[in-house]
Chain A
Amino acid sequence: MRRAFLTLLLALASPVLAWQTQAESESRAHYVIRAQVEPGERALQGSLTLRWHNGTDTAASELWFHLHHNAYANNRSTHLSESDGMLRGVKMTDGWGWQKITAISAQGQDLTAGIDWMVSAVPEGAQEPDDIGDRTIFRVTLPEPVAPGADVEVAIEWQSQIPRVRRRTGIKDDFLLMSHWFPKLGVFEGQKGWNCHRFHMNTEFYADYGTYDVTIDLPERFAEGPDEQGRWTAKVGASGAMAEAPRVQDGRLVVRYLAPSEGDRAYNDPITGSAPLVHGFAWTADPGYRVHRQRFVYADWAAKYQTEVQAAAIAFRRPVEQLRLRDVQVNVLIQPEHEGQWQRHFDATCAALFFYGLWWGEYPYEEITVVDPAFGASGAGGMEYPTLFTAGTRRYTEPAMHSPESVTVHEAGHQFWYGLVGNNEYEAAWLDEGFNSYTDSEVLWRHYGPSRDETRYSNLPVWGRRAAALPATGGSAGLLTAARWKVPNPFDWKWLNSMTLEPTDVSPFIAWYRDQPLLTFVDQYTDPRWGDRSGYLRGPGVDPLTTHAFAHRDSGSYRTNSYPRTAVALRSLSAVVGKDAFLRGMRHYADGWRYRHPYPGDFFQAFQEGAESDVSWYFDEVFRGLGTVDWSVTVSDRDGWKDAGMFPDASGEWVDAKARSEAEKAVGEGESAEAPAPAPEKAARPRRQEVVISRRGSLRLPLTIAVRYEGGEEQRYVWTREQQEQCAWWRLPLPAGETKLSSVVIDPDRGYYLDENMGDNQWYAKGSTARSLRWGERVFTQYSHLLQFFSGFGG
């Protein structure tokens, strides 16, 4: 019976699978999936057929699959144990989820009995694998190896208990975010074998490109309608696009999606010249969604950012017309209480489609879907899947807060870095997260400017921050300020346990009255590009960037390296090779590895080819190494020596400096008319100026120093890598002169973001007391009011 069903499924799927039959040099995976979901029971029953094309030069005798939902089965899975049971700040105590393969067959044989639960196809760090707890990978041996260039068809049936969404995937009430929800093939890398990792805490993506035809069967409440024409609207979003109108029958809603969509399959990606592909499929449903659709129109954005388009055209040495991007329909699925923000989600998505597309190549799909997770399902937020991503917002936000703009641009950006350039995220997450962090900061800065900080009182925002912290509350300070009074419990009464009185830790509304933000706060802004630098400097020298994502010292090192450090390294690379060459190098890499699986070495090579620059030393020191740098400048600018002693005059006679000075003075006053003594030579008194540049750290970058003199003249010096190899400091060869220095600035164009401390990178002749008064005033105003407030507790 089971075999008959699988055979039928394969027969039904064959027309869809047949659309792409040409021989390919890359492996491809084409799925046809059908799933029935009962949200109330958190149950999913699915079946799929997979046609896999072996694009390598090696025969494959096994197939390796991911079963990612098993990561949420228990607290001993790799995913849970690596995160110490905490998923996005929440302890996983309930809502466990799992997957079970009920049938698998290939090449006409039932392979169900031969399922091997595996630890990993490749070495994964030092952590001892738990083959009981982690069931996120399995393997089956094929009756016949799949020869190079050949295809194999596999049919699978499975059941799932959908996990309560805590991170990435799952369900919360009627909100579903279904990613990693079906048995998914790993990546066969030819001679290297299968690359199929456990579902780690931080990394999750690596799959062959292909196509998806997915039918989802849900309860009718996920549909709205019918309207006057009898049409139903499905409160569902998914990768690709809906292939046919949703059907509602017998209390069930059935929707079918194709990814890429039918339109996409008939579209030629201008970069590859072939139809676009995807390497995953995710879907979401929520009866509460408000659905908004609007088009991203390239021409509108190009008109708004003409300078950027021109700059890109110059960098890529292409006419502006060749940079034109495909218009895209943006679907925003948003929660009712955030509906007022749908336009902001749309705008941020468009910003990403425009700038990423301009720099890294067109988004080749006709639709993109933005998802706003339900309240209590924030664990599903901030995630990226092919042509669909989740953002995440809250009430009471403004665009200047960059929320949800920041997360929206970032996740939309993943359509390019990991979506179109499909690096192995398990091993080199920085190739997508870091490249994306670099780009999202550039986009945010260009489109939104700096983010503005707010302080929240009972979730209501007020612009600005306190200039100084509130009085301390820990230990004896808490006792003295009545912020923490631990109630003694000599008789160990249960209800008194941990009872603490906090009289002056007042309600947020009273805290607002206490703070008087309008009077006492200061504005605080953050340039996202420089914000990346702050992130990088949280742990600059822990692991090389190229460390496998799951092998970092800790999750802090993973985050630093995979996100801001890569962004900072790329931004500084732009200063090394020049902005145009940088864009060319990156674009060359993005174009060459579209729909393919690059590794770090591929990036290093492609970038240098595109940039036409040998910067292998930079990749060695910054990406493969732990190079850090901290430059500083010290300046001394004093009057010239006041002459003392004997100096030769014009005739070569030694003259006392004092006498010469008096003679100079006499000449100046016109007393020499009757005293025709030889006119003393006017002594030049060059200023005693010294500028010394120092470097700490092993990283040597060609460094520009700008020296400005009073009057505005500027002199630039370059401290080369070769010079730096000789010595860690450099005294600038300043010309002798009598003009005072006005300023000395290291890296005046602010191209390097790697410097660990930029507070000593510049020197200005003119000081200022105004800053001291300004910040003194802010603290004074804040604290005089704070003390007045505290006096109110007395009377």
Chain B
Amino acid sequence: MNALHPRSRIRQGRLFLLSLRVAAARVSIWAGIAGLFALGGLALARPWSQFFGGIDGHRYEAHEQFASLDVVFRHDQSAALSQLGQSTAQSAVVLALIAWLLGIFVAGGWLQVIAERAQTQVLRRFCAGGARHFLRFLRLSLLLLVALGLVRWLLYGPPFESLVLRKLLGLPATDLLPGRQMESIGSEATRDRVLWLRDGLMALSFLYLMALGYYARARMAVLSKRSAWAALGWAFGATLRAPLRTLGPLTGILLVELFVLTAILGPVSRWLNGRLAGGANLTTVWVLAGIGLLALVLREIARGARYHTALVVTKANIRSHVHPDPWQTIGAPGGPQYPVQQDGDERYGVSV
């Protein structure tokens, strides 16, 4: 089914599944992107591998320090481990920055490929899309980061402290001093609930801003607009007008992602890790790496699916507001030409 077609009739509840299917079908894209992250991970893992290879100079038995590092090892190697950790953390800064830029590029690529429903030269189109939208998505990303920072400041900074903790809950100023942990609040459970409220609000804000980002990018791509402000404003309006329609499918994708990660792959990984305590088993290590890669691929498919969803919903939304379809009322020459087919052949789709 061509879900991108303006007149397509996708049942709302199934859109996230369709999006996942569409994204999963783009093997070369998610494999390529996941491969890049895996390469980054490998670059950072290499010094660790070398370190453990180096200390393996006959100082430890094969099964020692395999499943976990004991307290003696952690102490005796603390200087080396600390240095290794610091250098990894520093290197990771550069890679995180690259990953962020890659994310901007990938967003354009996914949107281009999904919008065009390209079957050939997919990677070329992907790169073209990434390059085409890069700068405008970069601006949007910066805008979103500032928004995230502001929300965080509101929730973890002086506004939350003065409005919620001081005025609403009536905590004295001394309660907010270091180490006091809101001690006047009465009970640990109440304190936890306040923290969860704040952390939960932050998490929801984070997810919401990410969702706005998807819709803003989709709009910019569909309409070929450059203004990140306008796109973000439109996305905000759209999510307010139709919260279920816009946020529902994205939530569905997130839930599927979380389910697979935490209810399937995670427990299997944890179980395998536990088995390593019984002895050095290289096969298990490879399986663990495989599971990690599988999870990485799934998260990349989920990203593609989000863009598919955003594109479908955006097109459906902006059609009525921005581009009234003349053919819908007067009919095209030779009669209505679409929907081409209701059951799935997408080759005749209209490119953006």
Contact = CB atoms under 8 A, between A and B. Distances in A.
Contact of B285 (A337, A770, A786): A770
Contacts of B146: 501, 503
Contacts of B92: 470-472, 783, 786
Given A519-B292, A792-B210, A769 B53 contact: yes
Contact of A518 (B68, B75, B157, B267): B267
B112 to A, nearest CB: 12
A226 interface: no
A520 B296 CA distance: 11
17 contacts: A91-B179, A394-B188, A395-B192, A501-B146, A506-B203, A516-B266, A518-B262, A518-B267, A518-B270, A775-B49, A776-B48, A777-B285, A784-B296, A786-B41, A787-B96, A791-B37, A792-B303
A784 B292 contact: yes
Contacts of A757: 76
Contacts of B46: 776
Interface string B154-190: 0011100000000000000010011111011111110
Nearest 7 CB-CB pairings of A with B: A795-B107, A794-B103, A518-B266, A501-B149, A784-B41, A776-B49, A376-B183
Contact of B150 (A375, A482, A501, A773): A501
Interface string B287-327: 01101110110011001000000000000000000000000
A785 B273 contact: no
Interface stretch (B6-14, B193-201, B242-250, B334-342): B193-201
Nearest to B111: A795
Interface string B265-294: 111011001101100111001101101110
A787 B40 contact: yes
A794 B140 CA distance: 9
B251 interface: no
A524 B69 contact: yes
Interface in B66-110: 66-77, 84-86, 88-90, 92-97, 99-108
A158 interface: no
A777 B45 contact: yes
Q: Which range holds the interface residue count of chain A?
A: 35 or more
Interface stretch (B18-26, B54-62, B114-122, B344-352): B54-62
Interface in A736-795: 743, 757-760, 762-788, 790-795
Given A470-B92, A772-B49, A780 B195 contact: no
Contacts of A459: 192, 195
Nearest to A465: B68
| Chain B binding surface SS class | helix
A606 B64 CA distance: 40
A348 to B, nearest CB: 20
Contacts of A783: 40-41, 44-45, 88, 92, 95
Contacts of B138: 794
B89 A764 contact: no
B128 interface: no
B206 interface: yes
A507 B280 CA distance: 36
Given A523-B68, A524-B68, A770-B62, A785 B295 contact: yes
B103 A760 contact: no
Given A395-B189, A469-B89, A763-B58, A772 B52 contact: yes
A519 B269 contact: yes
A23 interface: no
A726 interface: no
A607 B325 CA distance: 97
B153 interface: yes
Interface string A680-721: 000000000000000000000000000000000000000000
Interface of A: 86, 88-91, 93-94, 172, 335, 337, 375-377, 394-395, 458-459, 467-472, 477, 480-482, 485, 495, 499-510, 513, 516-520, 522-527, 530-531, 533-534, 537, 635, 743, 757-760, 762-788, 790-795
B332 interface: no
Contacts of A458: 192, 195-196, 199
B123 to A, nearest CB: 17
A775 B280 CA distance: 12
Given A468-B88, A472-B86, A534 B66 contact: no
B276 A774 contact: yes
Contact of B71 (A394, A522, A527, A777): A527
B52 to A, nearest CB: 4
B339 to A, nearest CB: 30
A90 B179 contact: yes
Contacts of A470: 89, 92
A469 B104 contact: no
A689 to B, nearest CB: 14
